[in-house]
Structure 1
Amino acid sequence: MKLYVNLFLILLLVLSSCANSQDKYDPNKKLNDREQRQLLLTSIRYMGHLPKKGTHETKFDAVYDEYYSKLALDYTVEAYHQKDGYEYFLASRIAPSLKVKKVAVGVKMKRNEDGHLEHYEEVFRTWRFEVPEMLEKGLMLFDKMVKGEDLGPYYPQNSGKEEYIEFPDEKVFFDTVDRRWKVKSTGIQLTEEII
């Protein structure tokens, strides 16, 4: 009986911690709908998939504006925080799956006075999770990212059978100069099917 009571108390503590993180980083308390859409539009050409016939060199061409405007609507801002001149946000989108699942991206970025990006970094991308699990794990990772804590224990090579982060891993990293995921051994950009 004592074991059940302890497990129940631990579960309450975990749920309380998740609720506090969710409330602390609630984007609706910090950004209105227009500001959330602008945040996504600013980052979608990096975060989202390339359009058909588009390349990383042409993705900013005006011909793709409509594609990216529609693609941004597929994303939801789940968490937001500002610290030391940087903006941190967690965005999610529905991922292909038999059940409704979402993938989340933890982003650290800096915009200048004109709203243009000075720094953009995808700190992590999660695996596909059903929505409650994505929120629980995504917000926990987001909180650690904002606090500057090590996310290494949650990388696939370190997390055992429990899934958290898909990228980065021991082979894949985010190149902050080119603003895209690459393979470490060759420096070659990942194919769109992978990300």
Structure 2
Amino acid sequence: MVKYIYIILFALSLFSCKKEVLSNPSDYLTNEENLAFKENIVRYFEGLPKNVSHEKKWDTINNSYYQRKVKEAELIHYYKNEDGFIFFAISKIAPSLKLKKVATIGKLKIEKDSIVYYEEICRTWKMELPELNLKSKILFDKIVLGKNIEEYYTKNSQPEFWIEFPDDLTYYDTEKRVWKNK
């Protein structure tokens, strides 16, 4: 029954978007480029090593931690628009008794091999893979197409759980490139 609900939600989202974004990372990136992309942003989307502050996360002593996290993360959607913004969705394993993951959906801009803009637009709740794949694709397409996603915030999407952050208390600080409480 749940499977059919997801299929209906996906079909409805495609009709409401009127356009599906072609976002398969392998259509744009080689395996090496995919790995390099994740390596460039892992210190933003991944949690901090134990007893390390945001200011110290760039220290080389943390390289092995972040290399392990790069291997565990999966780039599930990737799209570069005509303005040079790269939209991405990355999933990573979340603590759970069953295999569940969360997805971070964001956008960035690179100039001269440097990230000049980075924003995490939303992070999903932890979900089992079929549900995460479906919901992250719907959210990703809406974000790339410039559609509002507030209907998927927890306060607006009950009884479904889509977006954990942002919410009324949490927002993404694009200057510091971290999630913060209001």
Q: Output the TM-score relative to the length of structure 1.
A: 0.83
Unaligned runs of 5+ in 1: 1-6, 185-195
- Determine the structure 2 residue equivalent to 1:152: 150
- Determine the structure 2 residue equivalent to 1:65: 63
Quick check: 1:164 aligned with 2:170?
no
Give the conservation status (yes or no) of the 8 Å contact 1:173–1:181. yes
Unaligned runs of 5+ in 2: none
Q: Could you tell me how far apart the structure 2 residues matched to 1:17 and 1:157 are?
A: 23
Q: Could you tell me how far apart the structure 2 residues matched to 1:50 and 1:158 are?
A: 30
- Determine the structure 2 residue equivalent to 1:3: none
Structure 2 counterparts to residues 99-118 of structure 1, below 5 A: 99-113=98-112, 115-118=113-116
SS in 1 for 2:50: coil
- Determine the structure 2 residue equivalent to 1:50: 48
Q: Percent identity?
A: 39
Higher-Rg structure is 1
Q: Which amino acid aligns with 1:109?
A: L
SS in 1 for 2:87: strand
Give the conservation status (yes or no) of the 8 Å contact 2:108–2:117. yes
- Determine the structure 1 residue equivalent to 2:11: 14
Once the two structures are TM-superposed, the CA of residue 17 in structure 1 deviates from its matched residue by 3.9
Once the two structures are TM-superposed, the CA of residue 67 in structure 1 deviates from its matched residue by 1.3
SS in 2 for 1:158: helix
Once the two structures are TM-superposed, the CA of residue 11 in structure 1 deviates from its matched residue by 3.6
Q: Output the TM-score relative to the length of structure 2.
A: 0.89
Question: Which ranges of 4 or more aligned residues in structure 1 deviate by more than 2 Å?
Answer: 10-13, 15-18
Q: Could you tell me how far apart the structure 1 residues matched to 2:73 and 2:91 are?
A: 5
SS in 2 for 1:169: coil
Q: Could you tell me how far apart the structure 2 residues matched to 1:68 and 1:159 are?
A: 33
Which of 111, 114, 131 aligns to 1:133? It is 131
